[in-house]
Amino acid sequence: MNEINKNSETPGTAFEAVQGMDLSGKVYLVTGAYSGLGAVTTRALLTAGAKVIVAGRNHKSQSDFVNELTANRSNHGFNTRLVDGSHILDLASLASVRDFAHYVSTNYDQIDCLINNAGVMNTPYGVTKDGFEIQMGTNVIGHFLLAKILADITKRQVWLSSAGHTLVGTPPGNHNNASAPRINLSAITEVDTNAYDGWKRYQQSKLGDILLAKQFAVEYPHLQTCAVHPGVVRTNLARHSSIWQILKYLVSFMFSSERLTTPDEGARTQTYCAVMPEEELVNGGYYADAAVSEEAEAARNMDDAKKLYDYCNEVTQPFQE
């Protein structure tokens, strides 16, 4: 078990995480970069002089975001050479992931950190273009392929997980480190559409992100990896939840120890982990509130981590060339 960091000097926002840093010459790749936590992380990295590859699936939204970032340098705009939003990335299409990754590997010698930020939550039943359950396919398998193709030129990976990986049942159900379900590979393709539970599939995907973060560090010894929990953040991620689900969750949330945070606050942990000195990062660790935290027992099962890695490697093999 990782030792939990009790450092009280951890940053309160993503911008505090890079305060005083000079990231000139470093390259970061952020998925889901033009909205929510990804947009905040992108802006924070740019303020410290880093180059950021912006990756999202909607061409217009990505173009608008890049134009906004670079529109007026005299009014806090960024140098256009620091923002690369030239290619889109649809994590629900392995062909799109392959093409995007090949663009990156062809044009960049090194990625200082790949931040696997994009994701979907509690969606209605659906499958990716390649037939995988939509949440596992997007949050886990798509990111796996991107991370695998770029592994040789990547120094660090940050995977966005969630306390949702500890969920037992459906919100406002229990979050329990000891009894949270283990990864179930058969549910990725063998889905009972009549009994589809978006929250259970979300739990599996966020668990999968932690397991892959741990296993990539094993498969590639040069890599530093970690997974993060951003907290409960005001973003549009809950757009697929019903009003009743949201109300039940808010009632439960009122009696929990967590508080609702802004995107600036929510992005602090992933930004902090992306820029942290090499000697300070706990490799394969799980971070929350910009400090090492304790993940569920299911997320520490390295046999499951290896099985999930091998499964993802097998089903994405045709797209790795």
Is residue 7 predicted with pLDDT exceeding 70? Answer: no
Among candidate residues 28, 34, 202, 272, the one labeled active-site is 202
User: Could you tell me which of 235, 236, 216, 232 has the C-alpha nearest to residue 283?
Assistant: 216
Q: So what's the architecture of 14-315 in CATH? A: 3-Layer(aba) Sandwich (3.40)
Is residue 239 predicted with pLDDT exceeding 50? Answer: no
Give the integer Cα–Cα distance in Å for 178 and 66. 43
Neighbours of 186 (CB within 10 A): 7
Would you say 100 and 88 are in contact if contact means Cβ atoms under 8 Å apart?
Answer: yes
Give pLDDT tens digits for 265-294. Answer: 999 999 999 999 999 999 999 999 999 999
Give the integer Cα–Cα distance in Å for 192 and 318. 27
Active site residue 108: no
Strand pairing category for 232-233 and 167-168: unpaired
DSSP run (H or E) holding 252: helix 243-254
The dihedral region occupied by 299, where left means phi > 0, alpha psi between -120 and 50, and beta the remainder, is: alpha
Query: What amino acid is encoded at 308 in this protein?
Result: L
Give pLDDT tens digits for 82-110. Answer: 999 999 999 999 999 999 999 999 999 99
pLDDT at 298: 98
Query: What amino acid is encoded at 258 in this protein?
Result: E
Give the integer Cα–Cα distance in Å for 203 and 167. 6
pTM of full prediction above 0.85: yes
Domain segments of the chain: what residues?
A: 14-315
Across the range 12-27, mean pLDDT stands at 97
